Amino acid sequence: MKHWDQFLIPYKQAIDELKIKLKGMRSQFEQEYEHSPIEFVTGRVKPVASILDKAHQKRIPLDKLVTEMQDIAGLRMMCQFVDDIETVVKLLRNRNDFRVVEERNYISHKKPSGYRSYHVVIEYPVQTISGEKKILAEIQIRTLAMNFWATIEHSLNYKYKGQFPEEINTRLERAAEAAFRLDEEMSQIKEEIQEAQAYFSKNKEAVKKI
Ligand code: 0O2
């Protein structure tokens, strides 16, 4: 276990640093504009049991984890609207504190499960007491509706180990379709929503000053 703790140190550090950096993007938007394309950011280091499961499933030798398992460090950036995702991806590509090494667009090409999300894999340099270590991290960018569906499907997957009963499968397909339509509907009234949100946050500021 000591070996794992040591192996995961740079991943933990990367998550801590990246959460601050990506949340910082949100704060900057809030300061400078009325709308932020980033709703919230989460991050986690993959638990050792999940690393071992995935390595086994994908036949990744344990001495190749650093180069072949891209999501030991994982972050999620949630957006309100589908077109915010592109804005966020462009911002990530333009940063010079990490390098984008791969992108997977499961929005234009959803997975057979119904999963939709945009994945950006980055190479991130971590400064450690024994020098710089470059690690891979996966940033998943998705709308709140995509995140809701993926979170529920992920828990059910855990319960049924991918072998869903027919009824659950049908309902998950319908739910994926509903989440897709929800995103479309919200995009249609995006300006209306943003005006209301700007009005709400201005009023909140005014109340704070009283
Ligand atoms: P965790 O930490 O439990 O979420 P693949 O074999 O293609 O599925 P790959 O090649 O490692 O996976 O990379 P990819 O495609 O970027 O997918 C990795 C992660 O995306 C998964 O991590 C999930 O977080 C998410 N994901 C991918 N497909 C689905 C899906 O059908 N449903 C849900 N809910 N999430 C999905 P892990 O490994 O599951 O780990």
What is the atom index within ligand 1 of the atom nearest the CA of 69? Answer: 11
Domain range for 176 is 2-209
For the chain, where are the E strands, in sequence order? Answer: 40-45, 73-79, 99-105, 118-128, 131-143
Residue with tokens 């504190």: 97
Q: Which long-range contacts (CB under 8 A, 24 or more apart) does 150-158 make?
A: 150/115, 150/116, 150/117, 153/113, 153/114, 153/115
**Rounded distance from Cα 71 to ligand 1 centre (Å):** 9
Q: How far apart, in whole angstroms, are the C-alpha atoms of residue 41 and residue 37? A: 11
Distance of CA 144 to the CA centre of its chain: 11
pLDDT confidence of residue 191 = 84
Mutate to test the pocket of ligand 1, among 154, 172, 173 (most ligand atoms within 8 A of CB): 154
Q: Which of 37, 27, 116 is nearest to 77 (CA)?
A: 37
ipTM score here? 0.91
**Rounded distance from Cα 204 to ligand 1 centre (Å):** 39
What is the atom index within ligand 1 of the atom nearest the CA of 121? Answer: 16
Q: Ligand 1: which residues within 6 Å by Cβ?
A: 46, 50, 54, 71, 74, 104, 111, 113, 115, 119, 138, 150, 153-154
For 90-128, the pLDDT digits (tens) are 999 999 999 999 999 999 999 999 999 999 999 999 999
pLDDT, averaged across the chain: 93
Residue 45 neighbours by CB distance under 10 Å: 20
Q: In the structure, what pLDDT confidence band is assigned to residue 2 with cuts at 50, 70 and 90?
A: confident
CATH number at residue 148: 3.30.460.10
93 contacts 99 by C-beta, under 8 angstroms: no
Contacts of 54 (CB under 8 A, 6+ apart): 46, 60, 69
**pTM for this predicted structure:** 0.92
- Total number of domains in the chain: 1
Strands 118-128 and 40-45: unpaired
What is the atom index within ligand 1 of the atom nearest the CA of 111? Answer: 31
